Amino acid sequence: MPNPTLTLHVLPPSHPCRTVTAALERKGLEFELVTLTPGPHTEKMEKVYGEGNTTVPGLLVDDERVHGSTAILARLEELAPEPSLYPEPHADRIREAELWGDRELQDLGRRLPWGALHFRPEAMGTFGGGGLLDPAGTDFAIKYVRASWKYHKITAEKLADDLAGLPAKLDHVDALVADGVLGGDEPNAADLQIGATLRVLLNLGDLRPLLEGRPSAEIPRRWFADYPGDVPAGAFPSGWVPAA
């Protein structure tokens, strides 16, 4: 059987897209990268992946549509079993941790950066690889961030809850590292899923002290060295970020 043609649809700043890109690279699979424009991406994704499938990433395996990061990693494992993304002896726990990363942690990689940018909108330019925005750019960012809060259903109350709950989530990741489920010499599916979200959180100066020195901080730095974005510390209102 010839190798199938792989086409990956992404949005540039998306962390689950980075998870999938890293998995394709780990498997040594060649793929075409289609970078979509935020906004029009929903229509394009639905057209390619079917009704209701508006989010990125999506992968076409020839004509087969695979939508969502965890489904894509499972499909890649079938296409190219070695090197495995679910190596023994922890295959089941890696799968479980990957799903936890998708369901319990991944949203924080959207809500916390958009949340912080409300207070520091001029920093939005850094997520595209540029510097701080000028006043005209900041006017644009203020509108964009406001729309993003609405889209992601972010409220100040939700944001404060997310921040209060973050240390417990980081403790869970540290425990997975201690058990050998995460943090090995080669990245598994859970390292890539959880690591991509933690990498986004490292771009928030307010959160770096919470992560520094933890075993969990090694995973994002190792597998996602370059990840644009920097919101200077002091963005979130005082008292919202738990003490390190």
Ligand X SMILES: N[C@@H](CCC(=O)N[C@@H](CS)C(=O)NCC(=O)O)C(=O)O
Query: Which lies closer to ligand X via its Cβ, residue 68 or residue 115?
Result: 68
Residue 212 exposed, middle or buried by CB count within 10 Å (0-12, 13-18, 19+): exposed
Query: Which lies closer to ligand X via its Cβ, residue 69 or residue 126?
Result: 69
Element spanning 33, H or E = strand 32-35
Total residues at interface with ligand X (CB under 6 A): 14
Please say whether the beta carbons of 194 and 97 come within 8 A.
Answer: yes
- Mask for 142-181, x = binds ligand X (CB under 6 A): ----------------------------------------
- Shortest distance (Å) from residue 126 CB to ligand X: 17
Q: How far apart are CA 88 and CA 81, in angstroms?
A: 13
Query: Binding to ligand X by residue 123, rule CB under 6 A?
Result: no
Please say whether the beta carbons of 114 and 149 come within 8 A.
Answer: yes
- Shortest distance (Å) from residue 224 CB to ligand X: 14
Query: Which lies closer to ligand X via its Cβ, residue 16 or residue 115?
Result: 16
- Mask for 5-44, x = binds ligand X (CB under 6 A): ------x--xxx-------------------------x--
Q: Which of 21, 69, 197, 216 binds ligand X (CB under 6 A)?
A: 69
Q: Select from 126, 84, 113 the least CA-distant residue to 230.
A: 126
Please say whether the beta carbons of 21 and 195 come within 8 A.
Answer: no
As given in the structure block, the two tokens for residue 207 are 């959160």
Please say whether the beta carbons of 141 and 117 come within 8 A.
Answer: yes
- Shortest distance (Å) from residue 124 CB to ligand X: 16
Element spanning 98, H or E = helix 91-100
CA 48 to chain centre: 22
- Shortest distance (Å) from residue 200 CB to ligand X: 9
- Mask for 96-115, x = binds ligand X (CB under 6 A): ------x---x---x-----
Query: Which lies closer to ligand X via its Cβ, residue 57 or residue 183?
Result: 57
- Shortest distance (Å) from residue 69 CB to ligand X: 3
- Shortest distance (Å) from residue 42 CB to ligand X: 5
CA atoms within 13 A on the CB side of 216: 26
- Shortest distance (Å) from residue 12 CB to ligand X: 10
Rg (alpha carbons) of the chain, rounded to whole number: 18
Point out which residues bind ligand X (CB under 6 A): 11, 14-16, 42, 54-57, 68-69, 102, 106, 110
